[in-house]
Structure 1
Amino acid sequence: MFIYWIVNLVKNCPYGWTNFGVQCYKFFSQTVNWVTAEKHCLSMDANLASVHNKIEQDFLLSLLPSSSTHCWFGTHDGNHEGQWLWTDGTPFDYTYWAPGQPDNLHTENCGEFNFNSKNAVWFFIYNNYLQSYNFTSTSNVN
């Protein structure tokens, strides 16, 4: 599963998308690996969602159908180990890692939302080519 945002400048969010600030977001219930989720987003001129503050994170979490939902989002360190980036190129200026994360166990390279107790925290995930989760996408609105 994944959430992504549309990069195109549009006056309103497309049908089925949710507006938040100047962006449109959509949760996708397909279970795919991180690379496939980002490619799907790119095919719609969008990216996996980036998170820049707690308010935005809480909004993204509100799009998930349940607290047991694992969801890809747009962070990775695939270019340089330990140097986190957003797929949309925005500054990596906010984190909410789970305790002990990122731990680089088994050369993990991408991020997921995962509920830990009552909070949704970020995990550093092993082998993005094999894990399959939902995703959320996001895009700018004008």
Structure 2
Amino acid sequence: MSDLNRKVRFQTSEKKDGNEDFYDNTDNVMIYDNYQTEGSPAPPKLQDDATKDQQQTSHDKSNWIMERNQLWADNANLTSERDELQSSYSDVKSHNHNLTQKTSQLENENDHLQAVNNNLTKERDELQNHIDKKTLDFEASFETLTEQRDELKKKLTDFVHYSQQEWKYFSGSFYYISSNKKTWHESRTDCLQRGADLVVVNSREEQAFINQYRKSMWIGLTDSEREGTWKWVDGTPLTTSFWYSGEPNEGRNEDCVETMFYRNKHGWNDVICRGKKLWICEKKMFL
């Protein structure tokens, strides 16, 4: 049947163009294996093939419709998913924006807390330095007070000791008046052995205190190192003096001094050091 021509004729009541053999509606399709003149009866075989082709076309159409419907459904699903994703994206974007704001707020709060922490740290360090300084001051004060306490206790102990030994207290010093007589040097040795020295007279009041005992006694004044240069036993030069009239006369190596004219406010007299006399010791003790 190689020389056969096939013709598909679309049976319909309407044509798009009278010169065309193709129509829009494919519901009624007649397929012929040979071209036949209109009105000729179709061979039975051709009718069966046409029926089969029509069925196949109908089947294909159903498949196309199903695929189309499936595509529509898929498209609807994809659209729905897209909308859901878009909504989720908007939610995530909004959430991210909120997180960004919260992060910014937290950073600001962190900066503020850091500043507060820095200030507190600075105040703590300043307070610690202040406490350390006060602690050092307190320790120094405590040490000073301890030393003063110990010194005062020693002074009180000495005060009791010298008072029990019948020493006389006057204006920051204890005084011992001997009951026997010795040379000036022997008298000084005795004072030193007692933890004192021959008296150093610094004021008119102290001289008056000595005069009240109405005795001639060695005092701690000498020019034995250099003639005419009078110095006290503690090494200080003579500044306040109470010489008796005409003294010192520098007679016969008179290098030591006694206070003898007790009836007179000025009762000092220079004499030779080897003479024996009473003496008066002084132990300075300021309470």
Structure 1 length normalisation: TM-score? 0.82
Structure index of larger Rg: 2
Segments of 5+ residues of structure 2 without an aligned counterpart are: 1-153
Output the amino acid matched with 1:104.
Answer: E
> Which one has a larger percent helix, Structure 1 or Structure 2?
2
Output the amino acid matched with 2:264.
Answer: N
Residue in structure 2 matched with residue 89 of structure 1 by the alignment: 235
**In the alignment, is the contact (CA less than 8 A) between 2:218 and 2:259 conserved in 1?**
yes
2:280 to 113, 132, 136: 136
1:104 aligns with 2:270: no
Q: Give the deviation of 1:101 after TM superposition.
A: 0.8
Identity %: 26
**In the alignment, is the contact (CA less than 8 A) between 2:216 and 2:277 conserved in 1?**
yes
1:60 aligns with 2:210: yes
Segments of 5+ residues of structure 1 without an aligned counterpart are: 1-8
Output the amino acid matched with 2:243.
Answer: W
* 3-state secondary structure, aligned to 2:155: coil
**Distance of 2:249 and 2:224 partners within structure 1:** 14
**Distance of 1:45 and 1:26 partners within structure 2:** 11
**In the alignment, is the contact (CA less than 8 A) between 1:10 and 1:140 conserved in 2?**
no
**In the alignment, is the contact (CA less than 8 A) between 1:28 and 1:134 conserved in 2?**
yes
1:9-48: CA deviation from partner (whole Å, max 9, x where unpaired): 7332512111111111111121111110001011112111
Q: How does 1:13-92 map to 2 (within 5 A)?
A: 14=162, 15=164, 16-62=166-212, 64=213, 67=214, 69-92=215-238
Q: How many residues align?
A: 127
**In the alignment, is the contact (CA less than 8 A) between 1:52 and 1:92 conserved in 2?**
no
Structure 2 length normalisation: TM-score? 0.42
1:35-62: CA deviation from partner (whole Å, max 9, x where unpaired): 1000101111211111111100011122
Output the amino acid matched with 2:252.
Answer: H
Output the amino acid matched with 1:135.
Answer: W
RCO higher in 1 or 2 (8 Å CA, sep ≥ 6)? 1
Q: Give the deviation of 1:90 after TM superposition.
A: 3.8
Q: Give the deviation of 1:124 after TM superposition.
A: 0.6
> Which one has a larger percent strand, Structure 1 or Structure 2?
1
1:79-117: CA deviation from partner (whole Å, max 9, x where unpaired): 11111111123442210111111111011100001127x
Output the amino acid matched with 1:19.
Answer: Y
